[in-house]
Amino acid sequence: MPFSYTRTVRFQDTDAAGVVYFANVLPMCHEAYEESLAASSINLKSFFSTPSVAIPIVHASVDFLRPMFCGDQIIIHLTPKVVSENTFEINYKIVSVEVEQLLANALTKHICIDSINRTRKEIPAGIMEWLHRWNDEATTS
């Protein structure tokens, strides 16, 4: 079952045309990512500052389907998926609360590495639990 994060589009998210600026969608998705980690009892402070492991984003993309405006209520549905023993991706569906329409799709790809020597490392157990908790495949089988 995907993780869902509700958010209000803020004025600071928009551009001069009054719509969400393209570069601000990924930070919204990252907010949902952080909230899903916290909802899985992952300590964010230690997750983002653990010296032995890092999980950088190595790819990101967004497809915009409809404009988002200041004051809009949106839900970001986050679905992670294991790709290999050291990589995963997160699919995001951004939906309007008011009109129940899909506004955008986003994708981030992550790799787990040793933060000292920058070599690939197996995804830690806590993150694997998080991946399985919010993955669609766990509930559709």
Q: Domain residues of the chain, as ranges? A: 3-140
> Domain 3-140 is classified in which CATH homologous superfamily?
Hotdog Thioesterase (3.10.129.10)
Is residue 101 very low, low, confident or very high in pLDDT (cuts 50, 70, 90)? very high
pTM of the predicted protein model: 0.92
Q: Are 123 and 131 in contact (CB under 8 A)?
A: yes
pLDDT value of residue 76: 98
What percentage of the chain carries pLDDT values higher than 70?
96
Q: Are 119 and 113 in contact (CB under 8 A)?
A: yes
Average confidence (pLDDT) over 83-103: 97
Q: Are 72 and 96 in contact (CB under 8 A)?
A: yes
6-42 tens-digit pLDDT: 999 999 999 999 999 999 999 999 999 999 999 999 9
| Residues with active-site annotation | 15
Q: In whole angstroms, what is the distance from residue 72 CA to residue 97 CA? A: 8
